[in-house]
Chain A
Amino acid sequence: MTSYLLYALAGAALCGIGLFGLLRLSHLLRKLLAFNIMGSGVFLIMVGLPQHQSGPDPVPQALVLTGIVVAIAATALAVVLIRRYYHQSGMTSLEGEAGSREGGPL
């Protein structure tokens, strides 16, 4: 067992934590942070797992870099949306209005 595998396993734990936050928390910014935690978990697995098997591998590193940019773009978009939503409705979560009862976290 190398330390890289430890990264991957830590990634698995982060994924679980992030998923919990995404499903359970209702404040939208917290949800977004949970998403980012889960994303970090995925990136850790992505780099750690191949590195453990065959040493440093630039391909997953590049993939993760791309993935981070995509995640940043998504996060930024989400923040803009959430701020506008807050501005228009004064709410910080999706629940709270009768119309949205039917929907849960997803």
Chain B
Amino acid sequence: MTLEEWMPVFALMISLVASVGIFALPETGYVRRTSVNLGAAVLKLVVVIVMVWGVFHGVNYGVSFTMLPGVTFVLRADALSMMFAGLSAVLWLLTTIYAVGYLEDSPNRRRFFGFFSLCVASTMGIALAGNLFTFFLFYEILTLSTYPLVVHRGTEKALRAGRTYLIYTLTGGAVLLLAIAWLHSLVGDLSFRDGGHLVDADPDIHRSLILIFILLVAGLGVKAALFPLHGWLPQAMVAPAPVSALLHAVAVVKAGAFGIVRVVYDVYGVEASSDLGLLAPLSWLAAFTILYASTRAIWQVDLKRRLAFSTISQVSYIILGIALAGPLAAVGGLVHLLHQGIMKITLFFCAGNYAETLGIHRIDEMDGAGQRMPGTSLAFTIGAFGMIGAPPLAGFITKWVMGSGALAVNMDWVILVLVGSSLLNAVYFLPIIHRLWFRKGKETWPEERTWGRLETSPWLLWPPLLTAMMVVVSGVFASSQFSPLAWAELIVLREISE
């Protein structure tokens, strides 16, 4: 095997090996476990950076073997893969750092980090999957490996959330499997190809293709938390903050959204999907989800639940961008895959900090937390403004590009959705920011822990500050060569040049 074949395997195996290693170490092997964890995360980041560089210069990374008669297992790196892989590699490192601080002195850490690494490995597999079959493989492994994290605390509430999570995701998985199997028996080809490969499909099977598309979107929509399949996400927020941050804000929901992107672009192809009349309803559904979830978020008093509804709304931006069927709108959707990731992880890190340091879970307890925890609150503010879409932050770039894209394909109503959503975002974020900075806090916090001069443990403080900085940087330097925006443009360029 050549290096080009080995690289995707490496990228996948690093977290997998780390996971096995963590399970093999004893519960008390704190230092060794942390070094395995961080070492693997750094190594993976290096591998992914090398691959990003390679993909940019047109290297084909890929490996495949026949798994079953007629079905191959394919790992392949294209520009879209690398976007998702890069996101997960960067955020894995930061979240690991954060989680080490967050779970200090709590029980069952070996179990937690073992399954955490397994999740990251499956995310990487999802990113690098070269066909729907391989994608599904990792998609299901992701479901299974997240379950122990959701129920990590072992309380009645956590177990209930875990059950809801399973009912949703496993059912979604079954629907997805049916769709994939059907597609395979119909056309015999599940590979992801730039531009898709169903454009020339026999008109006789069009009806089946439409049905399959609906099943695919329904299956993937569970993880992407599309309305009305979003019910699991707010409940799953009982998990520890790093889990909510990386998995529910980034990996799991993104896996669903990423899958929809793959289906629309690389399996059906934009042309075929819009010819079959599939994209317009999808865009309506996405737009509705955006507005619906934003509205629901306003009424949530629990900070993490509010963020969860915000996630539901924001992930649908990606789907909306794809469903508009124009290149510029697609750039907007894809770039949001990254932007939403870094913004939302910042917010979840901060929510975790408030909970861990001050014992704050509800929004009405947050009065004056800005003075007590200025760093965290600064990061939170940046993230929230990013979500609202204030220039020059990352969220603004998304909305601007997507708005222009919508105009380019004469879908003016999308502008209304974007504006409305920004307003709703402002309605549910600004009061929090107001409470943080401008209200005077009570004398005591629900459960305060102190770290001397610092507002909180440095393990907890630095990750949100770093991601907040990324929010700023990717907004301000959006036109530079390696910004998320530039990479999204590269992806779309490669897709439509086929």
Q: Judge A-B direct contact (beta carbons within 8 Å).
A: no
Q: Give the A-binding residues of B (Cβ under 8 A).
A: none
